[in-house]
């Protein structure tokens, strides 16, 4: 979920477009975020989750896009579901009207 001021989008259009374009490429996005953060992420998976905090990630993403980024902690994982293909739209529509998936 992204909320932003239109002026911010205009001022940071290129940076945001680059980050958005890299969203499905962990290597490319990792290079944009920074080597230190990637190392912290890997170590947090192997050693201790405390090595990388949400606040640290917010700071790195803020730097990347040129403005303040905040994480939304949500207990509903479906908020992260993309609806970007016709089949996804059919599933979303069926859920909205309370029918079973096609």
33-78 confidence digits (pLDDT tens): 999 999 998 999 999 999 999 999 999 989 988 888 898 888 877 7
6-96: CATH homologous superfamily?
A: Spore Coat Polysaccharide Biosynthesis Protein SpsA; Chain A (3.90.550.10)
pTM above threshold 0.95 = no
pLDDT of 99 reads 57
45 alpha-carbon distance from chain centroid: 18
> 72, 84, 92, 66: which is closest to 24 by C-alpha?
84
Residue 22 has pLDDT above 80, yes or no: yes
Cβ contact 90:102 at 8 Å: yes
């Amino acid at each position: 979920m992204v909320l932003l001021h239109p002026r911010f989008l205009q001022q940071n259009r290129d940076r945001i477009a680059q980050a958005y374009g890299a969203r499905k490429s962990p290597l490319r996005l990792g290079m944009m975020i920074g080597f230190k953060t990637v190392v912290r992420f890997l170590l947090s998976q192997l050693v201790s989750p405390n090595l990388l905090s949400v606040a640290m990630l917010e700071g790195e993403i803020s730097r990347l896009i040129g403005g303040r980024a905040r994480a939304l902690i949500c207990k509903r994982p479906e908020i992260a579901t993309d609806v970007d293909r016709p089949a996804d739209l059919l599933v979303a529509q069926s859920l909205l009207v309370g029918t079973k998936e096609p």
